Each structure stands twice: as structure tokens, then as C-alpha cells.
Structure 1
């Protein structure tokens, strides 16, 4: 079962166990993790599920569409990803940093 640790801007950590083939965004929404707004519900049209992922080896590389949408994110960094595009599989443990603001 995959595990995600959401690290908030204030340092608080929310640890969530999820079923395979769930997006990081959906796991945040299902577990009421603050800081992930997800206005578009995972349709890749808003960038309000932006997170920072230092180790992206468990995920597919970003598509051109995701890269374009990340240009709209608040304070993008090289490790920025849209959590709706990060699918959790297997026994992975993933750490994501939630930005201080999505808007």
C-alpha cells in the first residue's frame, strides 16, 4: 500500500496510506489534507494541486501539458509537480511539500 507524507509549509506532516492507482491529489482530498485545493478535480486545468516532490523516481515524468500548466502555479520550482498527475503504486513512500499558497 502506498504512503504519502504531505509536508505543510509550517512543517506539519500529514501521513496518508492509500490504495494503488490513486493520485496524490485524490489521496489529499480523501483525507482532508489542507493546502491542496484541486479546483478542477484532477482535469489538468488549474494548477491548484501544485506540490514540490524532491524524489520523483516513483512517478512518470511530467507531460508537456503538465509542464505548461505548472507555469501558472504559484512559486514553481524545478521539483514542482501537479499532484493530480502523480499516481501512487506499489509499496512506495512519497514525500511531497505543499506550498504556502495555491492562489
Structure 2
């Protein structure tokens, strides 16, 4: 599984890179704050909403601690998506939130 740290994601955002972030936490968790620009697709809905994703794009998967995003990353990889798990999730995020 490909991984990326919260700090690396923050640096890419600071550099002005366009990232495709998918937050797999539940809606009530996301309401408390998410990485700006992240799209919320709860883990339980990934299977049903993966048709919204583009296999030519790279995605970074985010959750609270990295466990659910790890499961989502493995699932999407098995369908040919280019994904990275943000290790330690939002617990490690020090950047801005919306």
C-alpha cells in the first residue's frame, strides 16, 4: 500500500499542488473539520460511489487515524485506482481545516 504523511500532504498544499483528497470519515466527524478541498465519501459508501472517481487521477485517502483510510486504499487499489493512505489521519493533521 502506498502511503503519505499528513506533513507531506500539508507541504504539497503549501506548494500549490492540486490534490484529490477523499475523506472516508462519517459526516458528523467531517463537520468538526476537514482538509480544505477534501471530498467526503464515508468508508461504507466507497463501494457504491467509486464510479465518481477517475482511474487516471491520483487520490489521497484520509480518515481519523489511518485505519479506515487504509481499508479504503486497499479496496480502491484492488479496482485499479491510484491511491495513497494518509498515515495517522486527521490526528496528525496540523494544517488548516474547513
- TM-score class, shorter-chain normalisation, is 0.3 to 0.5
- The structure with more strand, counted as a fraction of residues: 1
Q: Name the structure with the higher helix share.
A: 2
TM-score, normalised via structure 2 length: 0.33
